Structure 1
Amino acid sequence: MNIKFAALAAAFVASSFVSTPVLADDQLALSICSYVAADNKNSLRKTLSDNRLRLRNVYEGIVCDGLPLVRHAIKNNAVDAAGFIISQLPGSQVAAAGDVEWAQSNGFAASPIIGAIKERSAS
């Protein structure tokens, strides 16, 4: 009986430690989304640097208002932030994302970000 209680207590304690970083990651993602929406490339770069993150490693896990970062940038006309994001991702990932098609079908075909996506996709 004591062994079961100890195992249950250990599992509870371990799970409580796991939840803390998730909250920090949520706040970090919110900060990144707000910097992109504000087209604040310098704050975006600093946040990633301060947290020792490479954008290519966390890009897939960050969703802003239901959109990936590049689409969030297109929606908010964040040209500088989008340029930085696109430059940090592999060209193959940029090409495969379908952001150009999304932009064209959602009324953002005139966005200057489309040119940066096409240029990076070609490299």
Structure 2
Amino acid sequence: MFKSITSWLAATSAAMVLMPLSLPASAQSYLESEEVALVFCAYVRDNHTVRLQRKLRDMRIRLRDVYSNIRCNDATLIQFAVKNDAHDIGSFIARSVHIDDIRQVGDFEWMRERNLLETPIGEILARRFQP
């Protein structure tokens, strides 16, 4: 019994040491959103659609709710996917995000200006933007 209590106390004190210092709520949400954006960018760069979907599900958020706020090297997630030849995840994003958000951030125009509408991601956007 003494051994289990000692183990529990060691685990509890380790958890307390690893907890961040007390920050204002706005700073904590900023740090959390920065970390989330970095994770999303890494998943897009590495073309990990399933991991992105799992992360979204674990966080209980929809991609369409955060899409316009995330930037990877000053590019939207779709632009970043195109630049990294991550066609699977880019196609998923192009299908998942609301068309108004894609229009607002300028993804379709960006792809059209660069003659990228014949890529797998561009084809999805072109179909979605047809009248």
TM range (shorter): 0.7 to 0.9
**Structure 1 residue aligned with 2:106:** 98
Q: Is 2:58 the counterpart of 1:54? A: no
The partner residue of 1:117 within 92, 102, 125 is 125
Aligned to 2:39: 31
How big is the alpha-carbon RMSD for the aligned residues of Structure 1 and Structure 2? 2.3
SS of match in other structure, 2:24: helix
Q: Secondary structure at the match of 1:67?
A: coil
Structure 2: runs of 5+ lacking an equivalent: 1-21
Find the aligned partners of 2:41 and 2:84 in 1 and give their Cα distance.
Answer: 11
Match of 1:8 in 2: none
Q: What's the CA shift for 1:67?
A: 0.5
Q: Percent identity?
A: 29
Output the TM-score relative to the length of structure 1: 0.75
Matched, 1:74 2:82: yes
Structure 2 letter corresponding to 1:111: T
Deviations 1:7-29 (A, max 9, x none): xxxxxxx9723312221111111
CA–CA separation in structure 1 for the residues paired with 2:36 and 2:61: 11
Structure 2-normalised TM-score?
Answer: 0.71
Q: Work out which of the two has the higher radius of gyration on C-alpha atoms and give 1 or 2.
A: 2
* Residue correspondences, number: 110
Q: What's the CA shift for 1:110?
A: 4.9
Quote the Cα distance in structure 1 between the aligned partners of 2:35 and 2:120: 29
CA distance in 2, matches of 1:46, 1:66: 25
Unaligned runs of 5+ in 1: 1-13
Deviation of 1:108 after TM superposition, in Å, equals 4.3
AA in 2 matched with 1:28? V
Deviation string 1:25-65 (CA, Å, 9 cap, x unpaired) is: 11111000010011110011111111111111111110000
What secondary structure sits across from 2:60 in the alignment? coil
- Which moved further from structure 2: 21-30 or 110-119? 110-119
SS of the counterpart of 2:67? Answer: helix
1:36–1:69 Cα contact (<8 Å) kept: yes
